Chains A and B, each alone.
Chain A
Amino acid sequence: MTYISTLYAYLFYFAAFVLVAGLAAKVFQYARTPAPLKIPTTPAPTTRAGVAFRITREVVFFESLFRGNKWIWIFGWIFHFGLFLVTLRHLRYFIDPVWAPIQFIQPFGVYGGIAMVVGLAGLWARRFLVDRVRYITSPSDHLILALLIAIGLSGLSMRFVVHTDVIRVKEFFQGLYVGQFSTLPADPLLLGHLLLVALLMIIFPYSKLLHMPGLFFSPSRNQVDNPRERRHIAPWARRLEQQ
């Protein structure tokens, strides 16, 4: 089994590298590209603090989606909030000692896992049931949903059906910090779960999952409505003036 553990160790080094480097490259690309015109969707905040509040509402409550479609909002929000709780619950594998808030969140993380799968199922159902959404769905949209649901179900199975040795899982990930390859439990569910998570990390910077950094860089949401008070000009546009 050490052979598989070693393979997984390298897989997670690779996945973590792709996720971090890929996202960093994308964020760098977004940050470097100028937004030459003021295009906030109005009414928009007139101060930076107001913009921060607007983005926070979008990130935490999905405000625009709420106005747009209640079904997508409820399923989407349940999924994302569930995923958030699940992520917090999983922090216990990556920190030692485990902080008190993370200990406190543990049982909620399980509900989060259930919520996540329910939300994803709802979103997937829409891809079949609503003709407009069916029309815009690509194979990759189905695959990403399948991937996330498989991650959720395999995780929940280890909680409710076949337990795995979580102590050794933690040892494995703690070992990765210092280049020590501990042995993972040889449970198919666990290995499947981890494989899918690594896959998710790898596709993140190359798929629509880019909506996560995208939201923070969206000019229609992150710009301050003050074009008359302050002159906004991109470097390439300023060069036109010097010609």
Chain B
Amino acid sequence: MNLNIILQYVFSGITVGSIYAVIAIGFNIIYNTTGIINFAQGEFVMLGGMIAFSFCKVMPLYLAIILAVIITGIIGSLLELIFIRHLKKPSVLQMIVITIGLSIILREIALHVWDEQVRALPFFTGNETSSVNILGANISPQVLWVIGITSLIVIGLTLFFKYTIIGQAMRACSENRNAAGLCGINTKAMVNISFILSAGIGALAGCVVSPLTQTTYDMGTDLAIKGFTVAILGGLGNSSAAVAAGIILGLIEAFSVSIFPSAFQDVITIGILLTILFIRPQGIFRSKQFAALKEF
């Protein structure tokens, strides 16, 4: 393997890895404020790509993407309002069944609205054949878009949770929901905002990646499993670790192609997920004591 090919693998690994990371962050945001895993997270990514695809025929691409993010955010908010909010003390199992059910419903709706065709948004700059030369490797400019936008999402979220009062209030909910209520924080609204946020960033990820990986109605499950693996790998709820874990998984997947047939990519992901769950269920970046304090 020469340097060029290695670089090529590295870039494609970082690209898919950063998408996995964004999905994992979506999992983490909802997990942090509610303690539940939203298995419909992958569907938000699909919806983002699909909605933007429908809109971009009638308006400029950037507007279509903004609209797709907003609409998916609203869908996330509605899902919480209709299916999650009125549950009193739901058990973990209940929540898993509900969110998997939601993901199936969203997928079926998408099948009826957009049919089974494979779609893709146009490349943000250039087209399929244009490429940028970085250190001898030929990279699609879309790869840079993906890396750029996902880094922006990560930085933006970090600032949001650190410096805005709403972000701080959401963190307070995740640390101690009762005490947050006693501070006058409307905990239900914070849960709703967490659904809007994770749906929104999921949709944005779905838009930037669409030109490279295409969008199909059933892409969500696959992505949800990858994102979930990354979230577990980094330690549930830990968003900066999710970025590292996402890139690690992306790189492993990319390089595995040179050893195993590419059909085995998913096997590798699931293998990693199972190994982590058996050996270090608290994630690779976390201490056992911390994990012991969490519910699951």
Q: Do A and B come from one complex?
A: no
